[in-house]
Structure 1
Amino acid sequence: MNTAIKKKLPIGIENFEKIRTEDFYYIDKTGLIKDLLYNWGEVNLFTRPRRFGKSLNMSMLKSFLDIEGDITYTEKLFNGLEISKETSLCKEYMGAFPVISISLKGVNGIDFAAARDMMRSIIGNEALRFYFLSESNNLNEKEKMQYNQLTAVDESNRQGFTMSDTLLMGSLKTLSMLLQKHYGKKVIILIDEYDVPLAKAFDNGYYEEMIMLIRNLFEQVLKTNDSLQFAVLTGCLRVSKESIFIGLNNMKVLSITDVRFDEYFGFTDKEVRELLEYYGLTASYETIKDWYDGYRFGDVHVYCPWDVICYCDELRFDPKVQPKDYWSNTSSNQSVRYFIENAESNTTKREIERLVEGEAVRKEIRQELTYRELYSDTDNIWSVLFTTGYLTQQGKSDDDIFNLVIPNQEVRKIFTRQIMEWFQDMTKRDGDTLNMFCDAFENGDAAGVEMYFNAYLRKTISIRDTFVGKYRKENFYHGILLGLLGFKESWGVWSNRESGDGYSDILVEIEEKDLGIVVELKYSEDSNLEAGCRQALRQIEEKNYTEELKALGLNHILKFGIACCKKRCKVMVE
């Protein structure tokens, strides 16, 4: 296929205008404009996980509504899209309002002073976009001075915008008042990623100061602002009204559980099928569905757009490329790791195991939390995982009680990786036991290896995905054993290394002891562990897995056959 004749895929592009003018593939989400304008509240908050198109939709809204654009150019941008069919709405709203549009994604300072400067910079630069206000005939001298204060910079030491804290807190309200005075029209406010400053402040220890700043900023621009037409905010979390939305009774919250606007964030199955057909990638549909579908917003099942676009972009040039966890690589996955590390009760550990196995866990979800509450107890972490996309709902909820599941293979991989890393960190804290475990291998002590390995299996959170084959189940035990044996820094430990007529599970070289170890693992579906061990030992012999160790000059070689089922194992040695 000649990829040059196809539209480019918009990887990481969140600018609607750029996508539409530079020949990028665009999945039409302009129906959101129609639904919003027919049923808007004075303040509208959309909460969705990261990488589900929030910023692109905000850019789309700005392009449609902003009075600053040339109307002919704006009509061309939206020509052929769903919203263009709504002629009366387009006539009333397209290019008809002054729009203040900011993203707080970049407010991530290591301390409050740095974060506050970033906030000044974001708002100050947006104010500079309306440079004509400084000479507007519709503003008096005092009002022009107010505008100049918003955009004043300290040129002597390049410290950026100089607005005071008081001015900063009222900056968006002041700017909207000046724009209304200039245009004679009320203003639309767009605030993308509103909760990022709070998350960063909580992580870095200046949460109280940031709460005060955001609370005052929002109260003035969203609550006591006569110049406001309506506002749209986006974020990952629905932060409790008690923290920053005090008294904001004009807010309409549209979360992942709402059926309204449910199809406008993320890709629907129909949209993914059309995309794959356009690029000639329909053969990869089942793989993409398995890895990147599974989220439920309202009544609609959706795919993660970031994943679909990234994978399709690679598939276009390499049809054999395997799916990757693109979404997880855009975050630290801190909430999953914290959840696993703090799953102290056996009940919670078993619930995590059930999730990884593909089952549902029934939990009460609190969609309004302060950042102080997020990790205050395990019950709240279920809510965090749900609202941020690591878990999704299955079926209908019963008030605040949801059946939670891991949405797809990508997120399941995040859980399994974090479980393995947690387990390895946990076992390393008890070096004496690890040394005795490794000594049992070195001494050919099958009973000792079996005893210690069974003890480790009882402690860990099992990864037994019921939707994968036997080989993938073996990978879990393989990964655990590989991490345990890797504790010995003087040992050479290899995984799936070519040896003889195949690839052995694990090879170990203990040079100072002139000793080599071959380990073959089997998962026993029928719990016949002894038969599994014998099968593993036969495979070592038939495939000649000892050849690589002999080539290293090792004269003594031990062959271990290990069979596992759930949290039990059997070990044999030759």
Structure 2
Amino acid sequence: MSMARKLYPLGIQTFERIRTENRFYVDKTEYIYNMVHTDSAYVFLSRPRRFGKSLLVSTLQSYFEGRKELFKGLAMEKLEKEWTEYPVLCFDLSGGKHQEEDQLNRYLDYILKENERRFGIECDAVDANVRLANLISSVYKKTGKQVVVLIDEYDAPLLDVVHQDERLESLRYLMRNFYSPLKQCEPMLRFVFLTGITKFSQLSIFSELNNINNISMDEEYAGICGITEEELLSEMSADIDRLADKLELTREKTIETLKYNYDGYHFTWPSPDIFNPYSLLNCFSKQSIGSYWFGSGTPTFLIEMIRKFGTTPIEIGEREMADVSDFDAPTETMESIVPLLYQSGYITIKDYDKATNLYELGIPNKEIRIGLFKSLLPNYLLRSSQKGKVAIAQMSVLIKNGDIDGALNLLQTFLATVPYCENTKYEGHYQQMLYIIFALLTDYRILVEQRTAKGRTDITMETQDHIYIMELKFGKTADEALAQINANHYADAFAMSDKKIVKVGIGFDVKDERNITEWRVE
């Protein structure tokens, strides 16, 4: 049976275009109606990049401009009775990335000019804050109506320099200046909406706009961005079937594969399961399971911050507990990488413990795990990319077939041909590197230093039918490593499992060969 193919809005963030070109749109207009009919005139929403924030801003613009025809058939059509038109000022700060102070000043000048031109306003002031204040008051006088201000990616100019204190200071001052009129113009404003990834506390926007409502963790708005599991199953049912045909899988297996790769986000608790919209739509469009969100931009600032904090891959890979105040930690005064990893979408809420009021955080899905560890591997190995990909893919197949011996042989050969990043004889360096390599073995659950009743294993890897308990010994023999697994009865923790338990003792030479020298499998 042939199904009419949907047009997906790939790379299109304009509500008007999606609706007039009849492209696929997940109806989020009820959230918008609720948001603009609350007590707050100032609202802030944080979500990771490519999660639909810009589309949300564009939808708000169409709504406040009274473009009723674009909302035909959507929840908003039934909810809104008034359709009052307001003048809307839009500022997209994403164009202000990677800029020095004078460049950023010119960019602010450009986006102010665009808005002045739309409303036929002349202004000869130089300072951005004077221009913005003048723009709001002139539009207010000219139209006789309160003004709506929409700011997309308000933090974009600052994110790339967050690890460079001096540059951050000058750019932050500039942006604080630009945003300052939003407070003094309050009587002339109907609604102010800002999106971003992180929360820069020292920006006047959060210290001066003390009445700003941060809805990022509100249960009511948990599904405002991204595609919920319910939306996937109801509105994209035919897409699932078409993908199942292409992948030659059952519908159930296809849903499971989509969940495993792209689902797993929660921005509060309780929350529906949320899929990464960019990856999901790309997957349906290209009819293939790929690494789309991660492939659309390497998180350079994040890698820099991971270095700055000395955070290890193992720490990122393990589940972590966090207090609610950690999510709100201002980027400039953060004491750990956790808030930034969370806000950027590399870890997400996995559970909540009512008694301690703590959230459990973890990597959302396979796409993020693989993407993140791939971008961390070059910190441990030089020239690791092509050879590494091939070796890891081959190891993966061997482990799937239960051949751990062959996989370790391959790893030994690979490590012998790739130079290490720095001449380190530090055990932790190799443990982190081996952890990344094992974590990249596609579909396996990997645990490091998992606590068991009798001690800790080094690496536990769970595949479909095996549990591998691996002990790494630096400068010692594989027999000593194996003896430790047995002496500490690590395997007892998995006695209830119906999977085959394989113990692997690995000897690693830190001084001369800097490689796996031997292993014993039991």
Task: Tell whether the structures are fold-level matches, with TM greater than 0.5.
Answer: yes
Q: 1:187 aligns with which of 142, 147, 153?
A: 147
Q: Indicate conservation of the 8 Å contact 1:48/1:54, yes or no.
A: yes
Matches within 5 A, 1:250-329: 250-255=211-216, 257-279=217-239, 280=241, 281=243, 283=251, 284-298=254-268, 299-300=270-271, 301-315=273-287, 321=288, 323-329=289-295
Question: Alignment partner of 1:571: what SS?
Answer: strand
1:420 matched residue in structure 2: 377
Matched, 1:170 2:149: no
**Percent of paired sites with the same residue:** 26
CA distance in 2, matches of 1:271, 1:567: 50
2:111 matched residue in structure 1: 122
Distance 1:466 1:223, change over 3 A: same
Query: Which residue identity is paired with 2:277?
Result: P
Task: Give the drift of 1:121.
Answer: 0.4
2:194 matched residue in structure 1: 233
CA distance in 1, matches of 2:267, 2:428: 41
CA distance in 1, matches of 2:81, 2:507: 66
CA distance in 1, matches of 2:428, 2:364: 31
Query: Which residue identity is paired with 2:58?
Result: S
CA distance in 1, matches of 2:136, 2:353: 40
Distance 1:41 1:524, change over 3 A: closer
Question: Alignment partner of 1:394: what SS?
Answer: strand
CA distance in 2, matches of 1:122, 1:51: 22
Task: Give the drift of 1:216.
Answer: 2.4
Question: Cα deviations across residues 106-139 of structure 1 (Å, max 9, x unaligned)?
Answer: 01253111111011101211221112xxxxxxxx
Matches within 5 A, 1:454-493: 457-458=430-431, 460=433, 462-463=435-436, 464-465=438-439
Question: Alignment partner of 1:265: what SS?
Answer: coil
Question: Alignment partner of 1:404: what SS?
Answer: strand
Q: 1:91 aligns with which of 73, 77, 81?
A: 81
Question: Cα deviations across residues 25-61 of structure 1 (Å, max 9, x unaligned)?
Answer: 1110101222112214121111111111111011001
Task: Give the drift of 1:454.
Answer: 8.7
Q: Whose radius of gyration is greater, 1 or 2? A: 1
2:60 matched residue in structure 1: 61
Q: Structure 2 unaligned segments of length 5 or more: list them.
A: 245-250, 385-411, 418-424, 447-465, 472-477, 480-502, 509-515
2:157 matched residue in structure 1: 197
CA distance in 2, matches of 1:455, 1:64: 55
Query: Which residue identity is paired with 1:409?
Result: K
Task: Give the drift of 1:303.
Answer: 0.6
Question: Cα deviations across residues 237-293 of structure 1 (Å, max 9, x unaligned)?
Answer: 1221565433222211112x3213111111000111234423333533221111110
CA distance in 1, matches of 2:234, 2:505: 43
CA distance in 2, matches of 1:277, 1:241: 45
Distance 1:336 1:198, change over 3 A: closer
Query: Which residue identity is paired with 1:525?
Result: Y
Question: Cα deviations across residues 334-371 of structure 1 (Å, max 9, x unaligned)?
Answer: 35534654575xxx64xx43753xx5222345234444
CA distance in 1, matches of 2:215, 2:190: 19
Q: TM-score, normalised by structure 1?
A: 0.65
Distance 1:527 1:29, change over 3 A: closer
Q: 1:380 aligns with which of 323, 327, 336?
A: 336
Q: How many pairs does the alignment contain?
A: 415
Matches within 5 A, 1:128-147: 128-131=117-120, 147=121
1:485 matched residue in structure 2: none
Q: TM-score, normalised by structure 2?
A: 0.71
Matched, 1:9 2:8: yes
Distance 1:338 1:197, change over 3 A: closer
Q: Indicate conservation of the 8 Å contact 2:226/2:275, yes or no.
A: yes
Query: Which residue identity is paired with 1:6?
Result: R
Question: Cα deviations across residues 302-337 of structure 1 (Å, max 9, x unaligned)?
Answer: 01100000111011xxxxx3x222111233223553
Query: Which residue identity is paired with 2:352?
Result: K
